[in-house]
Amino acid sequence: MFNKLLKTIGLVPERPTLPPEDRPMPSHRLAPLDVTDADFAEVVLNSDKLAIVDFWADWCEPCRVMSAYVGFLATEYDGRVLTSALDVDENPTTSEQYAIMGLPTLVFLRDGVEIDRIVGVMNYQELKQKVEHWLTVH
């Protein structure tokens, strides 16, 4: 989802015209893991880290904003937080299990248990504060 979002909003760089040795090194950017109904339990519920699941859909414009923020979190909290994205249209079972009624929805889990959720758009600084809070609360 994150790479699709970057392409949609025009942040995917054009093909380089410089020879490889003269090209600047790309910045380190990680993307959230795409999860499905089939691997949600294995990847998310069994994680030993704070897990954030971005429930999104292609047709949801506000989802693009929150998905970008989750992508930023993936890079900023690499190794400390598991960030993932689940397309609700393609994965109805998990969406129903978590009673996803509005999009975008971010669900925070620790040890496979939901500890918080955000429905709708929140600014990035507030989102980071929420992540910091859950990283310090055990």
Contact 32, 1 (CB under 8 A): yes
110-133 core/surface letters (b: 16 or more CB in 10 A; e: else): beeeeebebeeebeeeebbebbee
Q: Are strands 113-119 and 33-34 parallel, antiparallel or unpaired?
A: unpaired
84 touches 32 (CB < 8 A): yes
Residue 13 annotated to the active site:
no
Pair of tokens at residue 38: 């089939």
Q: Among the options 31, 53, 63, 70, which is catalytic? A: 63
43, 60, 121, 135: the active-site residue:
60
Q: Catalytic: 83?
A: no
Question: Which positions are catalytic?
Answer: 60, 63
